[in-house]
Amino acid sequence: MSDLKPFDIVLENGTLIDPVTGLNGYYDIGMRDGLIAAVTTSLKSEKAIERIDVTGHHVIPGMIDTHAHVYEHVTGKFGLSPDLVGVYSGVTTLVDQGGPSCMTIGGFRKFIAEPSASRVLAFLSAYLVGGLEGHLYPELYGPNGVNAEHTITAARANLDLVKGIKAHAEIGGQSRWGMEVIKIGQEIATAANLPLYIHLGQLWPTSSSALIPSSEELIRELLPIMKEGDVLAHPFTRHPGGFVSSEGKIHPILLEAVRQKQILVDVGHGSHFSFDVARRVLDAGIVPFTLGADMHGYNVTIPNATDKSERAANPFFGVAPFNLTIAMSELLHLGVPLEKVIEMVTCNPAKLLRMEGELGSIAVGREADISVLKIETGRFTLSDNSGENVTAEKLIRPAFCLRGGEKFDANSAFVPAAIVA
């Protein structure tokens, strides 16, 4: 190995956890030309241009956030800066959920995906208007606002970016147009050979001229439309119409769908997250496959924002500080093992995206996408937007990441400060 040119970067003395290779312990990692060149117990005798001592840190494959909102300046206040959510938060890959549509995917590519240091992908909106602050305009999100032919064409033409289709199954929409939009969304996803990602939990007010459907009715009508590999989001939502019934129990048909139909579950944390609901769902045996953060302009603190009252009026406004690593810390506190939490942000998202040959592992020859985390021990306050506070003994915080071998410190304003209990 010493006959080769020096490594560009060597990470030394870190605790590597790679669910794909099975490595879990102290390893050094050498990178050359943006790729993983060596993973071994020691590279101290090898030449390197830069050495970074990561003693006391966990080194994992580059984190993948499966629920981002980063179509900045186009999706209203929802869209955040991709790199502040991504590499400067220790996250190497972002999946924008429903921001671009068949009409706006070109702009998403040119102005978001291509200029960003973070890898930015998307689940294409089933709706023509995409994620244009849709909570304000429910009339734009009915069957007349969907064009299957054009969306299928756009998805097929952009498969390097488009990894799924996004739609909403919630009480407000169901009271207006039933499941028609979901059926069209599935038509699009099936034709494009992509997963359908479904938002669960109320988004729009119910129609005043229609019977208000129950969450049980919504779930019964939704699940037969879904196929293996599709995704249900927001299992821990505090909003009506989610995984938990009005009686506080998990819908039995949901348990069956997850276990037998192999429907996947994404946390989609956002301001939806409730510790109480999370306990009920986890106790029922539903462990999410992926852990999307769902950060957007209404549930994080925007530096120098001048429209705080307008943001506070939004139904998805949130005050509980969070990001992807806070969400990971919450699951850790709720009893999910660290290795399982790491799978939710590395190899599992890679499988969902059908990119497991490229992402989700620190294997030799792979692109050097790596996240370096500090797991602090103490007493830390974590909170949800239902008003519950818990005291956690461990807090996961991003230190930095490497995206294609380039180092980015996790100094984003969207990384919350630790709150010591």
Tell me the C-alpha distance between 412 and 201, whole Å.
29
Q: Coil, helix or strand for 49?
A: strand
**pLDDT of 406:** 98
Task: State how far the alpha carbon of 182 is from the alpha carbons of 7, 176, 178, 199, 246, in Å.
Answer: 50, 13, 9, 11, 23
Question: Please, what are the domains in the chain?
Answer: 7-60+366-409 (2.30.40.10), 62-352 (3.20.20.140)
Taking the C-alpha atoms of residue 269 and residue 89, their distance in angstroms, rounded to an integer, is 16
Closest CA to 298 of 129, 139, 77: 77
Average pLDDT over residues 104-115: 98
Could you give the percent of the chain with pLDDT greater than 90? 73
Q: What is the mean pLDDT of the chain?
A: 91
Helix 148-157 with 180-191: angle, nearest 10 deg: 30
* Residue 52 to residue 39: CA distance in whole angstroms: 15
The DSSP bridge partners found for residue 24 are: 17
Can you say whether the dihedral through the CA atoms of 224, 226, 229, 233 is positive or negative? negative
**For 180-225, how does the pLDDT look when each residue is reduced to its tens digit (9 = 90+)?**
999 999 999 999 999 999 998 776 666 665 566 677 788 888 899 9
pLDDT for the residue numbered 215: 73
Could you read off the pLDDT of 51-64 as tens digits, one per residue?
999 999 999 999 99
Q: What is the pLDDT of residues 65-97, one digit of tens each?
A: 999 999 999 988 889 999 999 999 999 999 999
- Identify which has the larger pLDDT, 158 or 256: 158
For residue 338, which phi and psi values (nearest 5 degrees)? -55, -45
pLDDT on residue 251:
84
Is the pLDDT assigned to residue 140 strictly greater than 90? Answer: no
Q: Which residues of 371-400 are buried (b: 16+ CB within 10 A; e: fewer)?
A: bbbbbbeeebebbbbeeeeeebeebbbbbb
Residue 132: is it exposed, middle or buried by C-beta count within 10 angstroms (0-12/13-18/19+)?
A: buried
SS3 37: strand
What's the confidence (pLDDT) of residue 241? 74
Beta bridge pairs of residue 65: 94
pLDDT of amino acid 117: 98
CA 32 to each of CA 4, 36, 37, 49, 53: distance values in angstroms, whole numbers, following the listed order: 10, 7, 6, 10, 17
Helix axes 275-283, 324-333, angle to 10 degrees: 60
Q: What is the pLDDT of residues 265-295, one digit of tens each?
A: 999 999 889 999 999 999 999 999 999 999 9
Cα torsion through 338, 361, 370, 45, rounded to 10: 110
**pLDDT classification of 313: cutoffs 50, 70, 90:** low
Whether 390 shows a pLDDT value over 90: the answer reads yes
Query: How do residues 354-370 score in pLDDT, each as one tens digit?
Result: 999 999 999 999 999 99
Which residues touch 144 (CB under 8 Å, ≥6 apart)? Answer: none
Quickly state the pLDDT bin for 176 (edges 50, 70, 90). confident
Structure tokens at 220: 């019964």
Report the predicted TM-score, pTM, of the whole model to 2 decimal places. 0.95
Of the chain, the percentage scoring pLDDT greater than 70 comes to 92
Token pair for 182: 């979901």
Is the pLDDT at 1 greater than 60? The verdict is no
Lowest mean pLDDT among 108-117, 293-302, 304-313, 329-338: 304-313
CB 70 within 8 A of CB 112: yes
Residue 238 pLDDT > 90: no
Q: What are phi and psi of 155, to 5 degrees?
A: -65, -50
> What phi and psi values does residue 212 have, to the nearest 5 degrees?
-80, 115
Residue 380 has pLDDT above 70, yes or no: yes
Report the 10 Å Cβ neighbour count for 158.
20
Structure-block tokens of residue 115: 């200029």
Q: How far apart are CA 58 and CA 371, in angstroms?
A: 8
Beta-strand relationship, 231-233 and 264-266: parallel
Give DSSP secondary structure letters for 65-84: EEEE---TTTSGGG---HHH
At residue 306, the pLDDT reads 60
How many angstroms separate the CA atoms of 240 and 276, rounded?
14
How remote is the C-alpha of 66 from its chain's centroid? 3
CA 344 → CA 22, 151, 355, distances in Å? 15, 29, 14
Q: Please compute the mean of the pLDDT values over residues 122-151 and round it to a whole number.
A: 88
> E-assigned strands of 242-320?
264-266
In this model, does residue 132 exceed pLDDT 80? no
Tokens 């009506």 correspond to 240
pLDDT tens digits, one per residue of 21-45: 999 999 999 999 999 999 999 999 9
Mean pLDDT of 298-324: 73
Give the pLDDT of residue 208: 62
